[in-house]
Chain A
Amino acid sequence: MKNIQVRVNGHPVAREIPDHRLLVDFLRYDLGLTGTKEGCSVGVCGACTVLLNGQPVSSCLALAVMADGGEVTTIEGLAEGDRLHPLQQAFIDYGGFQCGVCTPGQIMASKALLDANPHPTPAQIKEWMMGNLCRCTGYYKIIEAIQAAAAEKTEP
């Protein structure tokens, strides 16, 4: 067991956890932050994407102890009170999801993109978002939503 201290969505969290706890399980089961989804469990689908110290990582392929002393941002950390993050709003406005399973991961990956590059081209969006699979949308709506959030356009 290890005592870890992590800032999760801006709040300090201290927990004692077994060394083999995966970051995705720590978030979902120890902290109850079930917005982060586990899809493939092997790093391929991106559903479990969270930001660890600002960088997008697959939380299914990280140990929670590796986040000790660091900062984790999950989908639950994006809205400010009742006000959705522009990306969340754009995914709604532009139909960027259907079943929604991949959406937290899509939004966390696109948040990292806009943090690094506030005005990406469609080609840059496609390249960055390569690690986020979606069975439902056909991807174009996701790209449109990200472009709209980047342009701060709220209505289609």
Chain B
Amino acid sequence: MHEIHYEAPTSLEQAVGILAKHGDSARPICGGTDLLIQMRAGVRRPHYVVDVKHIAALTGIAFDPKSGLRLGAAAPCIEIFENATLRRHYPGLVEAAHLIGSLQIQSRASVGGNLCNGSPAADTTPALIALGAVARLVGPKGERQVKVEEFVVSPGRTVIQPGELLVELLIPPPPPHSADAYIRFIPRNEMDIAVVGIGAAITLEGDRCTAARIGMGAVAPTPLFAAKASQALVGKKFDAVAIENAAQLAIEQASPIDDMRGTAEFRRHLVGVLTRRTLERAAERARRN
């Protein structure tokens, strides 16, 4: 691996200062489970590497029933799926975090890094989109908030500007009678990249759906919010017809490619199957809430 300067600041100001000073030649590092692989392969060659794991603002996980969840960008996946509050209120996000790699990876990999790496197939991103999560960024010019569905701009590229850090993800509290779910398809049992991943969050009042959001991964150059499919569910009876209609609209929005993991046609088929299954799983949970 090439030579680097490593810094491990303990405050946000210090971190932003170092990142801003070195611009394009600096990069944050969190768990390193994407970045160190890319650096070892010579794909990314930052000269300044700024470890964000020691900044308190990035490591917390705080849930409040009124304001929702503040999920620190650097919190490792293991802390997410071992957290009883998150398992209770955001089971879909927990499902997604639990799918990432092995324990050796989960003890390091963060949800913030999963998003900032900008992969269209990152498992936690569709789950975050389904929950309506907003990314809070801090940089030399101050602070801004970006919806997760607008965060990734092309494969491997995000809205993050030089000097900026993702501090936390802000996730609304789950409304009564709502729940989320995430399901991906991989050809093996474990340890693979999603061929397609679908996240969904829905709210049911009796047999009517009053809110729905569907996030899609690995079906386009960036993770997507399936807006039409989501809106089509709202205000309608939540039944097989409505689910099938949403699945068809999700398929229409997907623009997948052929690659070694699957053909575009197979991916479109999977979007339908997984949209149906994820909605059904979320609904089953919502009925118990």
Interface residues of A (CB under 8 A from B): 2, 18-20, 22, 41-44, 46, 49, 55-58, 61-63, 65-66, 68, 109, 112, 128, 130-132
Contacts and interface: CB of A to CB of B under 8 A. Distances in A.
Contacts of A58: 104-105, 108
Given A20-B2, A55-B107, 8 more contacts: A20-B4, A42-B37, A61-B31, A61-B36, A61-B105, A62-B32, A109-B103, A130-B190
B3 interface: yes
26 contacts: A20-B1, A20-B4, A20-B6, A22-B1, A42-B40, A43-B33, A43-B101, A55-B78, A56-B104, A57-B107, A57-B108, A58-B105, A61-B33, A61-B105, A61-B108, A62-B32, A62-B108, A63-B32, A65-B8, A66-B8, A109-B104, A130-B190, A131-B101, A131-B102, A131-B104, A131-B105
B180 interface: no
Q: Which 9 A-B pairs have the closest CB atoms?
A: A131-B102, A19-B6, A55-B107, A58-B104, A20-B4, A131-B104, A61-B36, A20-B1, A65-B6
Main SS at interface, chain A? mixed
B109 to A, nearest CB: 9
* Contact residues of B: prevailing secondary structure: loop
B146 interface: no
Contact of A49 (B1, B4, B104): B104
Contacts of A57: 104, 107-108
B141 interface: no
Q: Which residue, of A20, A43, A131, A132, has the highest number of chain B Cβ atoms within 10 A? A: A43
Interface in B1-18: 1-6, 8
Contacts of A66: 8, 32, 51, 53
Given A20-B2, A20-B3, A62-B108, A44 B36 contact: no
Interface of B: 1-6, 8, 31-33, 36-37, 40, 49, 51, 53, 78, 101-105, 107-108, 190-191
Looking at A18, A46, A109, A130, the one whose CB has the most chain B CB atoms below 10 A away is A130
Contact of A56 (B49, B107, B190): B107
Nearest to A58: B104
B149 to A, nearest CB: 28
Nearest to B32: A61
B104 A46 contact: yes
Contacts, number: 73
A43 B36 CA distance: 10
A100 B201 CA distance: 46
Contacts of B6: 2, 19-20, 63, 65
A78 to B, nearest CB: 17
B32 to A, nearest CB: 6
Contacts of A132: 102
Nearest to B5: A19
A19 B1 CA distance: 10
Contacts of A43: 33, 37, 101, 104-105
A144 B3 CA distance: 44
Contacts of B105: 43, 58, 61, 131
Contact of A130 (B5, B53, B102): B102
A44 B102 CA distance: 8
B115 to A, nearest CB: 19
A109 B37 CA distance: 21
Nearest to A131: B102
Contacts of B4: 19-20
A109 B104 CA distance: 8
A3 to B, nearest CB: 12
Contacts of A128: 103
B79 to A, nearest CB: 11
Contacts of A22: 1, 36
A62 B105 CA distance: 10
A131 B107 CA distance: 12
Contacts of A62: 32, 36, 108
A125 B8 CA distance: 35
